[in-house]
Structure 1
Amino acid sequence: MIDLTVDVEQYDCPFVAATDDHPVAFSAVHWEYDTAADRTETRMVVEAADRESLDAGLSVLRGHEGTADYQLLSRRNDVAHIRTVIGQTDAMRIIREEDGFITGPSFIEDGSELWRIGFDDRETEEEVLSRLDRNHEFDVVKRNAPDLPELTDFVQNVGAAMTLIEGCRDLSDVERKTLESAIDGGYFQSPRSATLGSLADEFDVSKPAVSKNLRRGQRKMIERVVNALDELEG
């Protein structure tokens, strides 16, 4: 198996059009391709520079001719969770016709899209890239051809990786920002560059409050790490 990370400009993609016009970014949470209808259903997290940019980007997406269906699932300030159904783009058609397949979630920003594309052999890879080169601008950011033991190890340990990711999502905004500042400031180094006092001043809270946020964040992450270790051993 060959795995490529490709940065491609899809001129007919609704998401690319939205990010080309406005400072928004789309991260795929889930996608499912309907072979009968040649459409892809996606659930995306949308992040924008501000509320106005989010409104403008979503407006472009809703009104694009390639968008067959759009639903706003939730929204908070300049971040939204959406469901869409989009028609098959030219690049996706080429990949599917040549028996390529998507191996990871996409990320769209600044008018281009990061894709992870898989191929069974080198000939298929070369044919897809050759056809894409005729009508699309793209760069191969990374190429990886794992051997079977590496691939097996990756598949078997996906559960452990997801456990760690879920631990990050469990953190509140305050806990995450406090941990990030503590790490960046050298709180966990010896000797310490940051102290509870400096962190309390940074967040304009008391020392007990910042200590409580640190302990909560550390406990959540350590519990997930222990669970992930158990999964790896299993």
Structure 2
Amino acid sequence: MIDLDIDMRQYDCPFIDTTDDVDIAFSAVQWQLDTDAEKLETRLIARADSRETLDDGLRVLREHPNMTDCYIISKRDGVAQIGTKIEQTNAMRSIQRNGGYITGPFQIENGRERWHVGFDADEDEDCALAELEQHNDYRVKDRDQFGPSTLFDLLENSESAMQMLEGCRSLTETERKTFEAASQRGYYETPRGTTLDQLADHFNVSKTAVSMNLRRTERKVLQAALGALERMDERESL
């Protein structure tokens, strides 16, 4: 299986056009393509900085000429779960016509969309990308090719991967930025490329604050990793 991570701007997509006009973002939760009716039905999470901006974005989305149906499932503050049905876009048609399929959720923000698309053959991939280039602006950000054993391993250990992901998501913004800076500047290398004092100067905080942020981050990531390893051991024992 060939898996592509594509950064795309479609010129006939209601979601992309809406994020051009309003500071709102969409993340797909579920989707179903009706190839006979040439419509895409989706469940998405819409997110904005305020309820007013969210309402404005949903209004613009509903009024788009390619939007067939748009309804709210739930809403709280600047976040809403919505259901939509849109006309099949040119990019969807190109992917589907050349044997492609969606392999993961898509995200739309700031007038661009992130797609995860799979193909079974190089020829199908080449034809689909050639068609996409005619009517869309896109960049392939990443390309992976998996054999059956790798795919099986990914599916078997999806719970472990989710646990690691949740551990990373539990980090606060300060913890994440401190951890990233420490790693990028060589704090975890031997010999160390930076010190706690230098990191403290970089963030304009005390040495104690940097140390505490790193310890909290390390504890969260380590707990997530250990939990993931335990799940892997349990599955292997079965």
User: Cα deviation per residue 1:185-223 (whole Å; 9 max; x = unaligned)?
Assistant: 98878697447xx69x968x9x7x998877665544332
For residues 59 and 214 of structure 2, what CA distance do their matches in structure 1 show? 40
Q: Provide TM-score, normalisation by structure 2.
A: 0.72
For residues 132 and 228 of structure 1, what CA distance do their matches in structure 2 show? 39
Q: Is 1:39–1:88's contact at 8 Å kept on the other side of the alignment?
A: yes
The letter of the residue matching 2:43 is T
Matches within 5 A, 1:100-119: 100-119=100-119
CA RMSD of aligned residues (A): 3.8
Match of 2:76 among 68, 74, 77: 74
Distance apart, 1:161 and its partner CA: 1.1
Identity of matched residues, %: 37
Cα separation, partners in 2 of 1:192 and 1:148, compared to 1, 3 Å: same
For residues 143 and 185 of structure 1, what CA distance do their matches in structure 2 show? 28
- Partner of 1:89 in structure 2? 88
1:44 aligns with 2:45: yes
Q: Provide TM-score, normalisation by structure 1.
A: 0.73
The letter of the residue matching 1:33 is Q
Matches within 5 A, 1:50-65: 54=54, 56-65=56-65
Matches within 5 A, 1:171-182: 171=171
For residues 193 and 40 of structure 2, what CA distance do their matches in structure 1 show? 56
For residues 223 and 70 of structure 1, what CA distance do their matches in structure 2 show? 40
The letter of the residue matching 1:150 is T
For residues 55 and 165 of structure 1, what CA distance do their matches in structure 2 show? 30
Aligned to 1:11, the other structure's residue is in SS state coil
For residues 180 and 109 of structure 1, what CA distance do their matches in structure 2 show? 24
- Partner of 1:27 in structure 2? 27
- Partner of 1:168 in structure 2? 168
Unaligned runs of 5+ in 1: none
Q: Is 1:3–1:118's contact at 8 Å kept on the other side of the alignment?
A: yes
More displaced 10-residue stretch of structure 1: 174-183 or 223-232: 174-183
Cα separation, partners in 2 of 1:34 and 1:6, compared to 1, 3 Å: closer
For residues 177 and 141 of structure 2, what CA distance do their matches in structure 1 show? 30
